[in-house]
Amino acid sequence: MQEALKYVEENKEKFIEELKEYLRIPSVSAASEHKKNMIECAKFVQRKLKEAGVKKTKIFKTEKHPLVYGEWLGAKGKPTVLIYGHYDVQPPEPLELWTTPPFEPEIRNGQIYARGADDNKGQNFIHIKAVEAFTKTLGKLPVNVKFILEGEEEVGSESIAKFLKTNKSLLKCDAVLISDTSLYDKGIPTINYGLRGLTYAEVEVTGPNRDLHSGSYGGAVANPINVLAKMIAKLHDENGKVTIPGFYKNVKKLSKKEKELIRKLNFSDTKMARDLKVRELAGEKGFTTLERLWARPTLDCNGIYGGYTGEGAKTVLPSKATAKISMRLVPNQHPKEIFRAFSKYIKSIAPKSVKVKVTEMHGGFPIAFSLNDKAIKAGAKAVSKAFGKETVFTREGGSIPIVVDFVKVLKAPVVLMGFGLDSDNIHSPNEHFSLDSFFKGVYSSIYFMDEFSRSK
Ligand code: BES
Ligand code: ZN
């Protein structure tokens, strides 16, 4: 294994150049004009897998974006690790807020800036390079490795979910390894054991059959924007609780032990507030910030539009207004049940003067695992070795919907070994990833394969 670690040390510049090449491909899964780039990016990943010594690779076409599969199964009698990641990225807009263009990676102060630098190209590239370090030095890996990289994580992971059901044996493994989460803090080795789920809805409110002059009609008919704003305001009470009937019905309470673990992490509200330039944090009363982020469900409006939003002023009473509303879920909430409860409630609070249409977008189940699994223990040991510190265990506020499917279909433990930071601006302008974290990630992956090889 020492040889593999040394290989990383000696090839840092090469790895960075290759990562830059990966980051130059605008693989925005949500935008149809980037369909070609998605194919280009899948091919790039396949090429990198091959160069890393993963000889058997295949690109699977799907209804939307291709899946990249690879396997190296030369470690007879040793466990098999399935490495998952996503090569798609979020749209880079608003472009004017980027210091350097999103698909022209640049290094500043030890950070690589580009869309996807952290989420998730930088993080999945870690494992490709760890595999390469083994094959180029020892000619083999300590465990069997399979890769599955998808191009739809940022838009709901539908194709991979279908693929998983019909390709159970192809993806059969003893553990799934994923780097798509964050460190608790800079330099702190972290294993994540929980993700929130998601229900995403679009609410369209329609008033009059056409846009109207706000002088001739203002006061006579309902304004869909005013109505929608009022409806959204009704979704929370004065204590920050979501008002949808039944919303909290199945929410699993935090155990005393977990509350204590969270308390020991010593999270600083002041530091977060300072970093975000707000005077104070906000949210559901009666819970600490980490409890609210990791173990409480929330509801947020992600976007609202309607009427005139161009330059200057236009006196108009719009015909329609729309809001995109997401709910982050925790165990044991069910995304479909929550959607139904939301839809019923939002319709019930709409006045007769408007029509309301509610559409379900993508969703995903929440999850929290036990820390007693040997794969998770091997993961904790590996990151601790790479960072030279004791590992902390966290949950995340974000979602990776396919994780639940991996657990259900493959019946394998999932090791969430993330190397990002909450301050990396994922999904936002100036996304970046620390090169130091990247290389510590590569070491962690090498240590993990070594550690896990001894578990069977
Ligand atoms: N890498 C994130 C998940 C994540 C976010 C982990 C924040 C840790 C902290 C992932 O790429 C992501 O953004 N997931 C989406 C899923 C959704 C589109 C179904 C999310 O959480 O919004
Ligand atoms: Zn993301």
- Residue 29, SS3? coil
Ligand 1 site, residue 431, Cβ cutoff 6 A: no
pLDDT tens for each residue of 283-309: 999 999 999 999 999 999 999 999 999
Ligand 1 atom with minimal separation from the 200 CA: 19
Q: Which residues are catalytic?
A: 88, 153
Of 157, 400, 417, 422, best ligand 1 pocket probe by most atoms within 8 Å of the beta carbon: 400
Nearest ligand by distance to the CA of 195:
1
Of 180, 324, 338, best ligand 1 pocket probe by most atoms within 8 Å of the beta carbon: 180
What pLDDT is stored for residue 122 in this prediction?
98
Per-residue tokens: 107: 């290094």
What's the CA-to-centroid distance between 196 and ligand 1, angstroms? Answer: 9
Of 399, 417, 431, best ligand 1 pocket probe by most atoms within 8 Å of the beta carbon: 399
Ligand 1 site, residue 174, Cβ cutoff 6 A: no
Q: What is the C-alpha separation between 432 and 425, in angstroms, rounded?
A: 7
pLDDT tens for each residue of 380-416: 999 999 999 999 999 999 999 999 999 999 999 999 9
108 pLDDT more than 90: yes
Ligand 1 site, residue 24, Cβ cutoff 6 A: no
Amino acid at 323: A
pLDDT tens for each residue of 248-266: 999 999 999 999 999 999 9
What mean pLDDT is predicted for residues 196-224?
98
Q: What is the C-alpha separation between 224 and 204, in angstroms, rounded?
A: 9
State how beta strands 316-317 and 392-394 pair. Answer: unpaired
Nearest CA to ligand 1 atom 5: 398
* Other CB atoms within 10 A of residue 21 CB: 13
**In the chain, pLDDT over 70 holds for what percent of residues?**
100
Q: What is the C-alpha separation between 19 and 45, in angstroms, rounded?
A: 11
- Range with the poorest average pLDDT among 70-84, 136-150, 197-211, 358-372: 358-372
Ligand 1 atom with minimal separation from the 182 CA: 8
Report DSSP state, residue 255.
Answer: P
Beta bridge partners of 434: 111
What's the CA-to-centroid distance between 425 and ligand 2, angstroms? Answer: 10
151 pLDDT more than 90: yes
Ligand 1 site, residue 396, Cβ cutoff 6 A: yes
Ligand 1 atom with minimal separation from the 86 CA: 11
- φ, ψ of residue 247 to 5 degrees: the values are -55, -40
* Predicted confidence band of residue 354 (pLDDT cuts 50, 70, 90): very high
What mean pLDDT is predicted for residues 361-370?
93
**Distant-in-sequence, close-in-space partners of 308: CB < 8 Å, separation ≥ 6:** 314, 316, 318
Q: What is the C-alpha separation between 275 and 255, in angstroms, rounded?
A: 30
Give start and end residues of each alpha helix (H) in 120-236: 121-137, 158-166, 224-233
Q: What is the C-alpha separation between 405 and 162, in angstroms, rounded?
A: 10
C-alpha angle 361/365/369, rounded to 5°? 155
Report DSSP state, residue 344.
Answer: H
Ligand 1 site, residue 421, Cβ cutoff 6 A: no
362 pLDDT more than 90: no
What pLDDT is stored for residue 455 in this prediction?
86
Q: What is the C-alpha separation between 341 and 359, in angstroms, rounded?
A: 13
Residue with tokens 């350097």: 100
Ligand 1 atom with minimal separation from the 362 CA: 19
Ligand 1 site, residue 362, Cβ cutoff 6 A: yes
456 pLDDT more than 90: no
CA atoms within 13 A on the CB side of 149: 34
**Distant-in-sequence, close-in-space partners of 124: CB < 8 Å, separation ≥ 6:** 83, 85, 86, 87, 149, 179, 180
| Domains delineated in the chain | 2-195+366-453 (3.40.630.10), 197-251+297-364 (3.30.70.360)
